[in-house]
Amino acid sequence: NKVITLKSRPVGIPTQDDFGFTEESIPEAQDGEVLLKIKYVSVDPYLRGRMRDEKSYIEPFKVNEPLESGIIAEVVESKNKNFKKGEYVNGMLKWKQFQTSNGNGLNKVDRNKAPLRAYLGVLGLTGITAYLGLEKIGNLKKGETLLVSGAAGAVGSVVGQIGKIKGCNVVGIAGSEEKTNRIQEEFGFDMAINYKTTDNMYKAIADACPNGVDVYFDNVGGEILDAALANMNKYGRVVCCGAISLYNETKTPKGPRVETKLIKNSLLMQGFTVRDFVKDFGPAQKQLAKWMEEDKIKYLETIVEGFDNIPKAFIDLFDGKNKGKMIVEV
């Protein structure tokens, strides 16, 4: 039974050496418990924050303890009346091939309704983040211009497609030509900017959004956020979902001040974590499933094979190796 632990707290971009690989025996399910075998592991940028020893909205990982993330697992043995052998569940589980659980926090997933992996992506927290971030903060209206960064990623690709469903002009920012082509050709984005080959992001956004930006859905923070803020229209909304460009920084870089931009254009800028809206998860998931069924939302995923590759898949997020949701198949 292989286990992956946090061996040391990363400094800068995490490396393989920050992860420990150990083995332990397969536990036995006690009364009221299930034995789970993990199948699909979600790796997510926010896990980087949990590797720091600092107070946040979620507990930091402990050194030499197993890491955890959103995982789809199979019930291989059940002594809990709510779960049957052979069922699949979704939950925050450890990076261990086998583990027991008392069932708290586990949600059953139905593989007949959607492929199991979709429950980690478009029907899981990433899709729900896209939907509720736009709904609760973006307040997107038909005909507006929506700009989204991290646009070829798990959250960003869903944000852009929802923008199209709502009848908006959608512009995406991503880190390669393959990604910018793909989001336009497959996901219907109207325009896309490759931030890695653009030396003036302010101008690139101004050119791609001739009517200005009404809603900016920010997945990256940093200089791209600075450039987006300078292109916002009056009463624009900035949805602060993620700031991946800062997650590996050892010192927070200084940027231009934002207050005059917020005041002059009466902008709303609001951060959130998706768990703020936990009571809306059900309806959000239902709507996303409906759009998926109607083929209005397509999803993209990058599947990495093998338990031992979980750390590598996580590290690769910071190098943009994923298109859509990054998932490890164990």
Residue 273 as a binder of ligand NDP (CB under 6 A): the answer is yes
Q: Which of 70, 124, 153, 311 binds ligand NDP (CB under 6 A)?
A: 153
Residues 82-141 that bind ligand NDP (CB under 6 A): 126, 129
Look up residue 134 and give its amino acid: L
Q: How far is the CB of 203 from ligand NDP (least distance, A)?
A: 18
Alpha-carbon distance of 171 to 153, in angstroms, equals: 14
State which of residues 176, 181, 233, 287 lies at the interface with ligand NDP (CB under 6 A): 176
Distance of CA 213 to the CA centre of its chain: 23
Q: Is residue 150 a contact point for ligand NDP (CB under 6 A)?
A: yes
Please choose, from the candidates 289, 121, 143, 120, the residue with its C-alpha nearest in 3D space to the C-alpha of residue 215: 143
Q: How far, in Å, are 64, 126, 247, 322 from residue 44 at the CA level?
A: 20, 9, 12, 11
Contact segment (CB under 6 A) with ligand NDP among 3-11, 15-23, 153-161, 305-313 equals 153-161
Q: Please pick, from the candidates 322, 327, 328, 330, the single residue that binds ligand NDP as defined by CB under 6 A.
A: 322
Considering the complex, state which of residue 3 and residue 118 has its C-beta at the smaller distance from ligand NDP.
118
Q: Which is nearer to ligand NDP, 167 or 282 (CB)?
A: 282
156 lies in the site for ligand NDP, by CB under 6 A: yes
Among 38, 75, 123, 317, binds ligand NDP (CB under 6 A): 317
Q: For ligand NDP, what does the binding mask look like between residues 37 and 56, x meaning CB under 6 A?
A: -------xxx----------
Here's the x/- map for ligand NDP, 226-245, by CB under 6 A: it reads as: ---------------xxxxx
CB of 85 to ligand NDP, least distance (A): 32
Q: In angstroms, rounded to a whole number, what is the distance separating the alpha carbons of residues 329 and 327? A: 6
Exposure string for 184-199, b = 16+ CB within 10 A, e = fewer: beebebbbbbbbeebe
Dist CA 109 CA 88 (whole Å): 6
